[in-house]
Amino acid sequence: MKISTKGRYAVRMLLDMAEHQSDGYISLKDIAERQGISKKYLEQIISLFNNTDILRSSRGFKGGYKLARTPDKYTIGEILRITEGSIAPIACLEDVPNRCARSSSCKTLFVWEGLYKVICEYLDSVTIKDIIDNDLSLAGNDYII
């Protein structure tokens, strides 16, 4: 499994919104400038979040986007499933139940199922708030003597 640029940028975009949530609605232009990501690319990512409960939007002057929930309610797993489509390490694990004709006799299936379980458990345990908190703890360890 390899996370695409789209998935990584989506996490960065939502993280930026979380860090600036007190600013109200945030324009994609502002996020693009702060993150060094093209506005056009962010527009493509935003479109993936249509019809989800991830973001709220407002049009017009001072319009833009903001998180629909608090940062602790967004897991990295949820974000990546929306942007990547699947986080399964192999194709046959993308469907439930497994539709692979070889699944009943596959000697290595347990390896891939185990890997998938670990990936999901980890990504579903890390939130946007965890990233913010980790960054704050790293900044707090910057002592100058």
pLDDT tens digits, 86-130: 999 999 998 888 888 888 899 999 999 999 999 999 999 999 999
Question: Is residue 87 packed enough to be buried (19+ CB in 10 Å), middle (13-18) or exposed (0-12)?
Answer: buried
Task: Phi first, then psi: give them for residue 70, nearest 5 degrees.
Answer: -75, 155
pLDDT in tens, 26-76: 999 999 999 999 999 999 999 999 889 999 999 988 889 999 999 999 999
Number of DSSP helices (H) and strands (E) in the chain, helices first: 6, 2
Specify the pLDDT at position 42: 97
Residue 145 within a domain: no
Residue 134 belongs to domain with CATH number: 1.10.10.10
Residue 28 in any domain: the answer is: yes
pLDDT at site 60 = 87
- CB contact at 8 A, 83 and 10: yes
- pTM recorded for the entire structure: 0.87
Residue 142 has pLDDT above 60, yes or no: no
3-state secondary structure of 24: coil
The range of the structural domain enclosing residue 131 comes to 5-140
pLDDT at 2 over 80: yes
**Are residues 25 and 62 in contact, defined by beta-carbon separation less than 8 angstroms?**
yes
Q: Looking at residue 136, what is its pLDDT?
A: 76
Tally the domains of the chain: 1
At residue 145, does pLDDT exceed 70?
Answer: no
Judge whether 103 lies within some domain: yes
Burial group, residue 35, by CB count within 10 angstroms (0-12, 13-18, 19+): middle
Residue 82 resides in a domain: yes
